[in-house]
Structure 1
């Protein structure tokens, strides 16, 4: 495990200064930045259990525990948060006639398969993945994930435009105008400003406020046991490929942001995410994945310290024990989420473009051009097809198209000038 060293005096940062993953600021600042990561991941993390019928507090519990496992297994080298994976929504909704326990069994098996991929990568080397997932592919996956989510942000933005404009305006103002700490916690400040605006303008659902008053302060999350049914497991298996693509894409995005080569930890990241997903499936939570939202926050704040993610994970675990806080977060209106997410999701897409630029991906190469064009169009256009009773959405088809299509077309076109879409250096 990496031991954190204090960055400077730990109390202040100069403009443009970056805090490395193995560094931390003073604990008060680190805690504040960790809370910002909680604010970034919370809305997306609770959407998945709401859509699949799993308990929200249980999912939050395993999200925090999974993040701690991830940081330990990757030896604190990859700053990332593990939240609920949207890839599980389609197959679990397709298994609507099955019991919650059977759905959990599918999640658990999906996690085990992801761990198996991680073990293979560790044993055979990261080149096993790089051969089918070069920068042109990982960049496309990040672009698809970021831009596919933007319509959801725009939809939420349109529901409460005034609140959304205030939220986004405060985030942009804190990020670009002031100097110092305020720019580092711009997302959190923007969310608070938007929420206060909603309170003053009556933009919060009264029923949610009533539930907030009635909720208890302390309560244990609901734990459930899984059962295994082949019909559900077969629906979940394709999710593993999406999770692999997401994890590799996010690891590449983290490498691009931090300026560090973390290819040697890809296998560990896959194992950790698989273990986290299996643990969630064994106890009643949704499957997990590394979160693009938190990568976006890290890009804005330029604080890459894994200590902030430890804080976020511990806060998530504590919050899972408080129904009152869960009800409070549920009062955050759509306009606040839309205003903050519009910026974060757009930045995620541009991180994928940055991966292409840094690796000199050549889009004059017809293989790169055609595969990425189809994949991004399918992903961002939200291509949705049903095969054998299973509905796969745009992210799924986009990731499958670029991950499977690139090596196939490269093999058919192997007489081309470049390998893997990267122009030879020197």
Structure 2
């Protein structure tokens, strides 16, 4: 076992108690595990929790679902190794990539979009390297809650037209999907309640089948076992402006995930934050290099850990390996690919709205004071830019709503703050609420 732990960091768990029960007030730490039977069961729960959001991204973008599942599992295993088993997490498809992938697909095709994903992963890796050396304080200074909230919100709201395009194709199915997702969130408790996305998709899919909107022709032709479709990336200067803002969101998502896990496990994980960022960067680069969706840490799986009180990384090894196995079943990918436009439009309507409101939640949790004209401008102007999808071209580089809105949020905050300090017009601390220290954005993406 010691040799294995040396070769693969993070392996080698100690048995928690009797391996069967978790006493009240206790948690199963990342370096502990329950019996392998119970660990496997919890790992399967993690797969179910991530599945609804993870497979929606390739369906919306047109990527092969099996390829995304394969790289999602591989990315999770890489994350566990790079963080030395200290940060339990599943890496699923990030919704932050939806808008830039959609825009780049129209200009450069799938390979160009994959090149953008690789570049975003490289950017995240570099940020992680800096954090590993210099700490996270500079991130909080660069992106205070008012900026982070604006960037998260504008990504969700920018996608509203894409949702409508799908809803308009099959409005009845889309409406049923929306209603099912909303009701599932309040009708069910526990794990089923947290799977509202998956439940809504399944209900909408059943309605689509009854209405004759599902084409099963490709399912019969798909093999049961085999490698998924791989696509090589191509790199274009024009995609830089589309994918650069995604790096900011991924930073907020990963830092927030590490802080949440640290709070629940009562461990200091700040020293591992840089590793977590680098790990997600590597996983995203790997996915983009072969045809998968960009990855991020998943809040859905935090819910599973919170309810089970099991934070063992052994369960995530099970989840990652099972996702890899699903990716090697083309028949599964073919079934997923039959999800019709109405279901995607309904799910997108709910998800994009929730992403937008997550940005508002960041403002509320950190008590952002909108009596301050700087905060008001940082929150308002970027949202209009993103919703209207402002576009600017500089040679081959095209900046659209998300990129321009993200840059605007940063420029307005730091620019107006500098002028206010210079002129002495900034609100004094006693005239506004101070942000809650060390609170970072909840992840929007998954």
User: So what's the TM-score if we normalise by structure 2?
Assistant: 0.74
Q: Aligned to 2:159, which of 149, 153, 166?
A: 149
Partner of 1:423: 434
Instruction: State the Cα distance separating 1:80 from its structure 2 match.
Output: 4.8
Q: Aligned to 1:175, which of 185, 207, 218?
A: 185
Q: Aligned to 2:250, which of 247, 250, 253?
A: 247
Q: Cα distance 1:88–1:361, how it changes in 2: closer, same or farther (>3 A)?
A: same
Instruction: State the Cα distance separating 1:119 from its structure 2 match.
Output: 0.7
Partner of 1:295: 299
Partner of 1:66: 75
Partner of 1:272: 279
Partner of 2:6: none
Q: Cα distance 1:108–1:333, how it changes in 2: closer, same or farther (>3 A)?
A: closer
CA distance in 1 between partners of 2:389 and 2:29 (Å):
35
Partner of 1:35: 48
State the secondary structure of the residue aligned to 1:413. helix
Partner of 2:418: 411
Does the aligned pair in 1 maintain the 2:52–2:195 contact within 8 Å?
A: no
Q: Aligned to 2:200, which of 190, 193, 206?
A: 190
Q: Cα distance 1:171–1:391, how it changes in 2: closer, same or farther (>3 A)?
A: same
Partner of 2:134: 124
Does the aligned pair in 1 maintain the 2:72–2:295 contact within 8 Å?
A: no
Instruction: State the Cα distance separating 1:125 from its structure 2 match.
Output: 1.4
State the secondary structure of the residue aligned to 1:159. coil
Does the aligned pair in 2 maintain the 1:94–1:390 contact within 8 Å?
A: no
1:89-109 CA deviation, whole Å, 9 max, x = no partner? Answer: 54565445xx95x87666545
Q: Aligned to 2:144, which of 134, 144, 149?
A: 134
1:230-245 equivalence runs, <5 A:
232=235, 234-238=237-241, 241-245=244-248
CA distance in 1 between partners of 2:113 and 2:436 (Å):
48
State the secondary structure of the residue aligned to 1:216. coil
1:92-111 equivalence runs, <5 A:
93-95=106-108, 100=111, 108=118, 110-111=120-121
Does the aligned pair in 1 maintain the 2:173–2:342 contact within 8 Å?
A: yes
Does the aligned pair in 2 maintain the 1:69–1:276 contact within 8 Å?
A: yes
Instruction: State the Cα distance separating 1:81 from its structure 2 match.
Output: 2.6
The farther-off stretch of 298-307 and 390-399 is 298-307
1:117-143 CA deviation, whole Å, 9 max, x = no partner? Answer: 211122111112112111111122221
Q: Cα distance 1:178–1:119, how it changes in 2: closer, same or farther (>3 A)?
A: closer
1:228-249 CA deviation, whole Å, 9 max, x = no partner? Answer: xxxx353344456323211133
CA distance in 2 between partners of 1:168 and 1:311 (Å):
32
The farther-off stretch of 1-10 and 104-113 is 1-10
Instruction: State the Cα distance separating 1:288 from its structure 2 match.
Output: 1.6
The farther-off stretch of 387-396 and 71-80 is 71-80
State the secondary structure of the residue aligned to 1:290. strand
Partner of 2:210: 200
Q: Aligned to 2:291, which of 285, 295, 302?
A: 285
**Count of residue correspondences:** 405
Partner of 1:369: 376
Q: Aligned to 2:352, which of 345, 358, 363?
A: 345
1:323-373 CA deviation, whole Å, 9 max, x = no partner? Answer: 211110011122223333333333332222222122221122222211221
Unaligned runs of 5+ in 1: none
Does the aligned pair in 2 maintain the 1:111–1:274 contact within 8 Å?
A: yes
Unaligned runs of 5+ in 2: 1-9, 438-446
Partner of 2:442: none
CA distance in 1 between partners of 2:319 and 2:261 (Å):
19
Instruction: State the Cα distance separating 1:220 from its structure 2 match.
Output: 1.5
The farther-off stretch of 28-37 and 124-133 is 28-37
CA distance in 2 between partners of 1:424 and 1:106 (Å):
34
CA distance in 1 between partners of 2:396 and 2:301 (Å):
37
Does the aligned pair in 2 maintain the 1:119–1:271 contact within 8 Å?
A: yes
Instruction: State the Cα distance separating 1:144 from its structure 2 match.
Output: 1.8
Does the aligned pair in 2 maintain the 1:147–1:380 contact within 8 Å?
A: yes
